Amino acid sequence: MKTFNLNLSRRRFLTTTATLTAGAALPAWFIEESNSYAATPKPASPNDKPGIALVGCGGQGSGDCNWASQFGKVIAVCDVDQKHLDTAADKFKAEHKYTDFRKVMERDDVHVVINGTPDHWHTLVNLAAIKAGKDIYSEKPLTLCIDEGKRLVKAVRERKTILQVGSQQRSDEKFRLACELVRNGRIGKLEHILVALPTGPREGPFKPEPVPAELNWDFYQGQTPAVAYTSKRTHWNFRWWYDYSGGQMTDWGAHHDDIAQWANGTERSGPVEIEGKSLVDMIPGGYTAAAEYEVKFKYANGVRMTVTNRVPNGLKFEGKEGWIFVTRGDIKASQRELLEEPLPAGAIRLYKSNNHMGNFFDSIRSRKDPICDIEIGHRSITVAHLGVLAVRLGRPLKWDPDKEQFVGDADANKWLSREQRKPYTYDMI
C-alpha cells in the first residue's frame, strides 16, 4: 500500500529551483572578485589526459564521467548491471567493460577512478583504487558508516592519494559567499543553523520480484544482508533503505551539512551533542530510512544546528545581527546590505573553486588537496551519520569529535561500524 511520497529528484529540484529564483544575483563586489580568478582550462594536449575508469554507470556516475571526460580519456567502465554497462560503454566509447571493479584496478592505463556506485559500495571501491595507486572522484555520501570514513582518511594520507568528494556545492559561488560572510561575522555571532532537507518517500510494503537477467543481484547487495530482490531496492531507490544509505539525511544532508560545517569553521571537526526523533513511522516491509525527522546538534563553540524536512531546501544561518539563507540558485539575507557590503582587506577567505571536477584534475597535477578532500568529506558525512543514529537510537548522544566516538555510550559506539556479509568484506580487496 502506497501512503505517502514526496520524492524530489535531484534533476527536478534543480529545474524547479532555477525557475523560482531566476535572476538571483550575486553582489557586484563578489562577482568582480570571483572573475579575477581564471576558470579551469581544458587539457592543453592529448598527453595531458589521464586515463579514466567509471565504476558505477548509473545516472549520477555517468554524469560525473561525462564531466570528467573534458579532462581525460575514458578507458574503462564497470557495473554489475549489464544494461548500464553497455550504455556507458557506448556513450563514452570505452574500449574495456568490466563487471568486477577489481579488474579495473589492475589496468596501468587507468589513472583516475570515478566512483558512482551506490553508497554501500563507495568505501570498498575507493579503498581498492587507493591500493592500486589511482586518484579518485567519489560520489557523496562518502561512506555507509563512520568507521569506513576513518579507514579511508588513513589510507588516503598514507598513500598520498588525491580524492575529491562530489560535494559540488563547495565549488558554487553562492555557497562560498554565504560561508565567507558568516565566518567573518557579517550576521554577528553565529547562533543557529537551520538545514532544510527534502522529505523522503514513505512507501511499501514491497513484494519480491524476479531478478532481472542483466543484474548480478548478489554482487549489487555487497556487504549488506542478503534479501529478496525488488526493483525498489536498486538504482535511484537504493537511498531509501538503511541497508544501503540513510535517506535524505545522508543524500541531501551530505551536501548541506558540508556547507554548515564550512560556515561554522568545523569542517575538520564536528558536533558534541546530538538528539533526534522520527516524525512519522515507516511502513513495515517498505523503505527503512527515516522519511521525516528533526535532529538537533550542538557544537563546542555554542552554535546549535537543526536538521529537518522543510521547504525551501537550503541552509539558513542565524546570528545576533541578521540571517543569510542559501540554496542552489539563490542567496538572500535579512537585509540586502549584509550581502552587498564588500568584505574588508584581511578578511577570512575560503578555498576558491569554480569547477568541482576541474579542481580535482588540477589537484591531480599539483598533488595538493582538492576543495573537498578526504577528511572534509568524512567529517561532513559523519554529521549526517550521527543524525541517522540519533533518530534510530531515540536518545540524546554525546560525541567526541577528536576521538570520533560516543562519550560513555558503549551501545551507541557499536553502530559506528557495520557487519559485512562475506565475501564482500575488506578482505576482498
Could you give the residue range(s) of every CATH 3.30.360.10 domain in the chain? 173-342+379-428
CB 27 within 8 A of CB 50: no
103 membership: H or E segment, kind and range: helix 101-105
Neighbours of 22 (CB within 10 A): 9
Q: What H or E segment, with its residue span, contains residue 10?
A: helix 10-20
Instruction: Give which of 26, 40, 41, 93 is closest to 66, Cα–Cα.
Output: 93
**In whole angstroms, what is the distance from residue 424 CA to residue 429 CA?**
9
CATH code reported for the domain at 173-342+379-428: 3.30.360.10
Alpha carbons 381 and 369: distance in angstroms, whole number: 18
- Residues contacting residue 279 through CB under 8 Å, at least 6 positions apart: 292, 293, 294, 309
Q: Where in the chain is the domain with CATH 3.40.50.720?
A: 35-169
Q: Which residues make Cβ contacts (< 8 Å) with residue 23, sequence separation at least 6?
A: none
- The residues, any chain, with a CB within 8 Å of residue 338's CB and separated by 6 or more, are 181, 186, 187, 322, 324
Q: What global pTM score does this model have? A: 0.93
Helix (H) or strand (E) holding 424: none
Supply the DSSP symbol for 202: B
Amino acid at 269: S
State whether residue 21 is helix, strand or coil: coil
Q: Report how far residue 203's alpha carbon sits from residue 288's, in angstroms, rounded to the nearest whole number.
A: 9
What is the CATH number that goes with domain 35-169? 3.40.50.720
Per-residue pLDDT of the chain (429 residues; tens, 9 = 90+): 332 233 333 433 333 333 333 335 899 999 988 887 766 566 656 668 999 999 999 999 999 999 999 999 999 999 999 999 999 999 999 999 999 999 999 999 999 999 999 999 999 999 999 999 999 999 999 999 999 999 999 999 999 999 999 999 999 999 999 999 999 999 999 999 999 999 999 999 999 999 999 999 999 999 999 999 999 999 999 999 999 999 999 999 999 999 999 999 999 999 999 999 999 999 999 999 999 999 999 999 999 999 999 999 999 999 999 999 999 999 999 999 999 999 999 999 999 999 999 999 999 999 999 999 999 999 999 999 999 999 999 999 999 999 999 999 999 999 999 999 999 999 999
